[in-house]
């Protein structure tokens, strides 16, 4: 039933009110209620923004811990709690336990769910045994387990309603992403780019878990769900090749020069096959081409398009996969009902540095323009017309980015600097950013009040040495050795406010360590985030000035959220160090290249954190 206050408002407003859209989508109505937090990033648009303002700039220095909850599991705790009505839903790292806490009864456990997963799954998870959170919809809580099982639980009782096997761990495929509920579908993805998995995004019916559609990241157009009308507004996105070889291209000492638009051959079909030019010790490289999907998804109900990004091509050694390697490293917009791709833009063609493009796509409007902004691991920030994919802005997030000099807006192609091309058995030094990216999975936020994005940044560079690696089903298949070190600022992180149309930073704060936490922005012009050395911070959204901070028990890689209960505003965040930044610490790894290159860079974290990180929830109020 339509919310009564919304219905009354629509009677006053008249025809301009979109009753049909809300009436068909109960979750969209709940997202409008700032008392609750019913989706990982608050709303379909991935903005991470709340209209609450009881906690404001005048009283934020009075914040204190209201209550805590020990999660009973060590390792990295990503994602955020959900609040639906008077229940808060929290999750853990592997084995992905779920608790429903009764906010009306001193946070008593209303129900719990304990998955039965084989402990060997942890060895398959690339970068810590994390889970990025739960989803809610249709009276159900959805959990994507690390072992590939997606479960639907009754939100009131915790009873298992249905489950489905999404990925097969025997092949090395796992899951770390949060599921997402859009309208009548539950969407989830696939991890395993470092195991040669041919990954995908998949949609299930919210009622019974039946398969709605599956779209692969590589392979024939019929598998990738590309058909007539794809990239209609930007056919050059479907070019056969965007680079010409320089000095042999994939050979040592070679690099790549971007074609001008008049030299591109487009539009072409079957690019998910034809841009993988050399077999990787297999019949077809795309068959184990990676393109994992483990980030955040967004959705525009009016366009009925959902948005997400695909990750790195397999393997990390680029010499054995000449070509653009489509459609890894791609931002897709798909019709929610059919899965068919409306547009797709490859962010880093022929990726040579493991710059996955799975980071969030934030939807926002400017003077009736429908926009989408994405902060990529490759160090560039992109703003698109989200209806047709036209690229409007592509700028470096920080001057230290050096693998490319710029993005050509007429083609969308990065202008690579050949000095930083990577090759087998050749240690290339000083590549910025490192594989961990200028920004990784930690989601940024957007404030419609300030019209700014708030972005946590990694400030690391690397030495990258590609190596021969033979594919064996179910075994790691990386093909490179990496070491990381602080960039030219001399620190490992930063935090900035970004203008999405001008493509420039408005203010920038240095951080000793990478801020691996997501961001919360509120209507009182406050910005919340956490750090690896255990600080939970609040900044002035307009100036970046630090207004308040407090230390918690372990490094924060969770995403802050806010809600109200009995009229009082609360802010909650998980602590529990881990993720790629903390995996070496959690496992006691010490060699510089351990933890996919993070052990050396983040060695000092052991002076601030016990290991492994202990998971806990901290809730603050005035």
Question: Tens digits of per-residue pLDDT, 188-210?
Answer: 999 999 999 999 999 999 999 99
Quote the DSSP letter at residue 605. G
Q: Give the bridge partners for 113, in sequence order.
A: 98
Residue identified by tokens 């509920």 is 181
pLDDT of 19 over the 70 cut = no
Closest CA to 494 of 521, 549, 456: 456
Could you list the active site residues? 354
| Contact of 66 with 121, CB cutoff 8 Å | no
| Contact of 256 with 243, CB cutoff 8 Å | yes
pLDDT of 2 over the 80 cut = no
Whole-number pLDDT of residue 283: 75
Q: How many CA atoms lie within 13 A of 288 on its CB side?
A: 27
pLDDT of 15 over the 70 cut = no
Mean pLDDT of 255-283: 93
**Quick one: fold of 33-621?**
Methanol Dehydrogenase; Chain A (2.140.10)
Domain ranges of the chain: 33-621
pLDDT of 182 over the 70 cut = yes
Question: Tens digits of per-residue pLDDT, 508-552?
Answer: 999 999 999 999 999 999 999 999 999 999 999 999 999 999 999
β-strand 493-499 against 504-511: which pairing, if any? antiparallel
Mean pLDDT of 392-408: 98
Q: How far apart are CA 536 and CA 381, in angstroms?
A: 26
pLDDT of 11 over the 70 cut = no
Mean pLDDT of 308-328: 96
Closest CA to 432 of 360, 468, 384, 486: 486
Closest CA to 49 of 497, 520, 444: 520
Q: How far apart are CA 106 and CA 259, in angstroms?
A: 63
pLDDT of 610 over the 90 cut = yes
Q: How far apart are CA 601 and CA 157, in angstroms?
A: 45
Q: How many CA atoms lie within 13 A of 302 on its CB side?
A: 9
How many secondary structure helices (H) and strands (E) does the chain include? 8, 40
Question: Tens digits of per-residue pLDDT, 88-140?
Answer: 999 999 999 999 999 999 999 999 999 999 999 999 998 899 999 999 999 99
Whole-number pLDDT of residue 22: 38
Question: Tens digits of per-residue pLDDT, 368-382?
Answer: 899 999 999 999 999
> Quick one: what percent of the chain has pLDDT higher than 70?
96
Q: Give the bridge partners for 550, in sequence order.
A: 536
Question: Tens digits of per-residue pLDDT, 425-474?
Answer: 999 999 999 999 999 999 999 999 999 999 999 999 999 999 999 899 89
Per-chain mean pLDDT for the chain: 94
pLDDT of 4 over the 70 cut = no
Q: Give the bridge partners for 364, in sequence order.
A: 371
Provide the pLDDT confidence category of residue 282 given band limits of 50, 70 and 90.
confident
Residue identified by tokens 């090395």 is 172
Whole-number pLDDT of residue 5: 37
Lowest mean pLDDT among 5-9, 46-50, 177-181, 383-387: 5-9
Whole-number pLDDT of residue 208: 98
Whole-number pLDDT of residue 126: 86
The angle at the Cα of 453, spanning 447 to 459, to the nearest 5 degrees, equals 150
């Amino acid at each position: 039933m339509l919310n009564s206050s919304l219905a009354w408002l629509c009677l006053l407003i008249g025809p301009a009110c979109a009753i049909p859209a809300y009436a068909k989508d109960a979750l969209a109505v709940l997202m409008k209620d700032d008392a609750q937090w019913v989706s990982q990033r608050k709303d379909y648009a991935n903005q991470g923004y709340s209209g609450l303002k009881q906690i404001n700039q005048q009283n934020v220095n009075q914040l204190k811990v209201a209550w805590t909850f020990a999660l009973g599991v060590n390792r990295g705790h990503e994602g955020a709690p959900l609040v639906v009505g008077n229940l808060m839903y929290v999750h853990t790292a592997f084995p992905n336990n779920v608790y429903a806490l009764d906010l009306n009864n001193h946070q008593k456990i209303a129900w719990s769910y304990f998955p039965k997963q084989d402990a060997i799954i942890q060895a398959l998870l690339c970068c810590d045994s994390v889970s990025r959170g739960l989803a809610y919809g249709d009276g159900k809580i959805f959990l994507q387990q690390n072992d590939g099982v997606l479960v639907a639980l009754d939100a009131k009782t915790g009873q298992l309603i249905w489950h489905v096997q999404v990925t097969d761990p025997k092949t090395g495929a796992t899951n770390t992403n949060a599921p997402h509920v859009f309208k009548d579908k539950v969407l989830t993805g696939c991890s395993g780019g470092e195991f040669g998995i041919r990954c995908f995004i998949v949609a299930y019916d919210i009622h019974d878990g039946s398969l709605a559609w599956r779209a692969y990241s590589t392979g024939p157009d019929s598998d990738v769900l590309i058909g007539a009308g794809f990239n209609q507004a930007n056919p050059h996105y479907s070019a056969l090749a965007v680079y010409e070889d320089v000095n042999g291209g994939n050979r040592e000492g070679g690099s790549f020069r971007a074609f001008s638009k008049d030299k591109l051959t487009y539009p072409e079909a079957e690019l998910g096959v034809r841009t993988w030019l050399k077999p990787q010790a297999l019949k077809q490289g795309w068959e184990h081409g990676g393109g994992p999907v483990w980030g955040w998804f967004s959705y525009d109900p009016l366009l009925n398009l959902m948005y997400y990004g695909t990750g790195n091509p397999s393997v990390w050694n680029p010499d054995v996969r000449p070509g653009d390697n489509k459609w890894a490293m791609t931002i897709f917009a798909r019709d929610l009902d059919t899965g068919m791709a409306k547009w797709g833009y490859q962010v880093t063609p022929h990726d040579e540095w493991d710059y996955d493009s799975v980071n969030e796509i934030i939807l926002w409007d400017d003077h009736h323009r429908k926009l989408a902004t994405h902060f990529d691991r490759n160090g560039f920030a992109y703003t698109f017309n989200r209806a047709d994919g036209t690229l409007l802005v592509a700028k470096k997030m920080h001057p230290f980015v050096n693998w490319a000099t710029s993005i050509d807006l007429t083609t969308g192609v990065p202008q690579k600097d050949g000095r930083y091309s990577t090759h087998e058995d050749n240690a290339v030094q000083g590549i910025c950013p490192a594989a961990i990216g200028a920004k990784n999975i930690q989601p940024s936020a957007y404030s419609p009040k300030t019209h700014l994005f708030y972005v946590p940044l990694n400030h690391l560079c690397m030495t990258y040495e590609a190596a021969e690696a033979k594919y064996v089903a179910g075994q790691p298949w990386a093909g490179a050795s990496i070491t990381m070190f602080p960039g030219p600022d001399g620190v490992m992180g930063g935090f900035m406010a970004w203008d999405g149309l001008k493509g420039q930073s408005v203010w920038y704060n240095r951080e000793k360590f990478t801020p691996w936490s997501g961001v919360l922005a509120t209507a009182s012009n406050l910005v919340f985030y956490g750090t690896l050395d255990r600080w939970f911070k609040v900044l002035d959204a307009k100036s970046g000035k630090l207004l308040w901070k407090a230390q918690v028990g372990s490094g924060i890689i969770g995403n802050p959220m806010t809600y109200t209960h009995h009229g009082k505003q609360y802010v909650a965040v998980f602590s529990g160090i881990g993720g790629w930044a903390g995996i070496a610490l959690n496992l006691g790894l010490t060699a510089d290249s351990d933890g996919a290159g993070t052990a050396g860079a983040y060695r000092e974290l052991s002076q601030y954190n016990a290991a492994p990180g202990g998971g806990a929830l901290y809730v603050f109020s005035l």
